[in-house]
Amino acid sequence: MRYPSMWRYLTQRLIAFVPTLIGVSLLVFVAIRLVPGDTIIAMLGTEAGMLTESQRTALLEYFGLDKPAPEQYVTWLGNVAQGDLGYSVRHGAPVLSVIIQRFPVTLELAILAMIIALAIGVPIGLLSAIRHNSLIDLAGRLFALIGLAMPNFLLGTLIIYGLSVYFGILPNSGDYVEFTEAPLRNLQQLIFPAITLGFAFSASVMRTTRSAMLEVLGEDYVRTARSKGLRERTVIMRHTLRNALIPVVTLIGVEMGYLLGGAVVVEEIFALPGIGRLALNAISQRDYALVQGIALFVALNFLLINLLVDLLYAAIDSRISYAGQN
């Protein structure tokens, strides 16, 4: 009964994606049009004032902006249902191809940041819980406090300043290289942005791991395992850590969704051509189709990652079942 229940649950969740994505698209459609200015002014700048009325009307008609807003939205939504996210005015290319071109940068950055965060946060949180109220615990909590309090833009700026002033290293600035072209150089360009993102996230992982471990360590089955004479390492790794991973996996899902949406500040500081920087530029340039496409793409990432996290719950804890899920 487990697999039919799982497929039924997956079907229900996938169907629920549709109204969520429509809601997101509608909010973004309205919000971007509340920003002062329009595509023509952003595209031509001061030259937009030299256009005749007929020229401006022709441009608006060409980009489909001459129609009422509700009609524009319905037309765009119908095209999206057919896999067409529109055409980017600034890039002169289909929105989907522009997003696919930029997404690998953001995906690689997110994976590196996640690896750094887990490699730092989980061990520190584990040690802090095991050595509760010790100097190790105090140091771990201090680390978490610093990580949560320090903004990404400040840490990124300090890294750039320290590298350039003291080590003579200038991080990537517009000369990004794909991993497939030069793997080593690509990792050199992404490691410092990944550290900037991973440092703050590692603090959250540490606090969540510590809290979950302390809660599980007080459970009766842990005391029973210890009373049976099991080694402390076995109790921690086999009986405690696995059950403490549920809140950590939840946090990873939320943070991964945020990272795949584009770390705007970090991508801008390190001049990385990712989704976040693309969205920022699209908003400033009033590239309506691109903004709407990116928002829809990011929302879909969030939904898929949350679905994956829900499935991981059952893999981590066999007590979690899909039966009865609505």
Q: If we measure between CA atoms, which residue out of 135, 140, 17, 39 comes closest to residue 86?
A: 39
Query: Is pLDDT at 313 greater than 50 in this prediction?
Result: yes
The pLDDT assigned to 93 comes to 86
Query: Is pLDDT at 322 greater than 70 in this prediction?
Result: no
Task: Say how far apart CA 260 and CA 200 lie, in whole Å.
Answer: 16
Place of tokens 């500040």: 265
Torsion, Cα 7 10 14 17, to 10 degrees, reads 160
Which of 322 and 99 is assigned the larger pLDDT? 99
The crossing angle, in degrees rounded to 10, of helices 95-130 and 183-217 is 40
Burial environment of residue 89 by CB neighbours within 10 A (0 to 12, 13 to 18, 19 or more): buried
> Using one digit for the tens of pLDDT, what is the confidence trace for 148-206?
888 888 888 888 888 777 777 665 555 778 877 888 888 888 888 899 989 988 999 99
Domains of the chain, CATH where assigned: 96-284 (1.10.3720.10)
The pLDDT assigned to 1 comes to 41
> Using one digit for the tens of pLDDT, what is the confidence trace for 277-304?
898 888 888 888 898 999 999 899 888 8
- Mean pLDDT score across all residues of the chain: 82
The pLDDT assigned to 97 comes to 93
Q: What angle do CA 289, 197, 246 make, to 5 degrees?
A: 95
- Counting residues of the chain whose pLDDT is more than 70, the rounded percentage is 87
> Using one digit for the tens of pLDDT, what is the confidence trace for 205-240?
999 988 888 888 777 777 777 777 777 777 777 767
Q: What angle do CA 261, 267, 273 make, to 5 degrees?
A: 85
Task: Say how far apart CA 176 and CA 156 lie, in whole Å.
Answer: 17
The encoded tokens of residue 64 equal: 């489909």
The encoded tokens of residue 131 equal: 């050595």
> Using one digit for the tens of pLDDT, what is the confidence trace for 23-68?
988 998 888 888 776 666 666 665 655 667 777 777 777 777 778 8
> Using one digit for the tens of pLDDT, what is the confidence trace for 114-149?
999 999 999 999 889 888 888 988 998 998 889 888
Provide mean pLDDT across the span 232-252: 78
Q: What is the identity of the amino acid at 123?
A: P
Provide long-range contacts, Cβ within 8 A and 24+ apart, for 162-165: 163/192
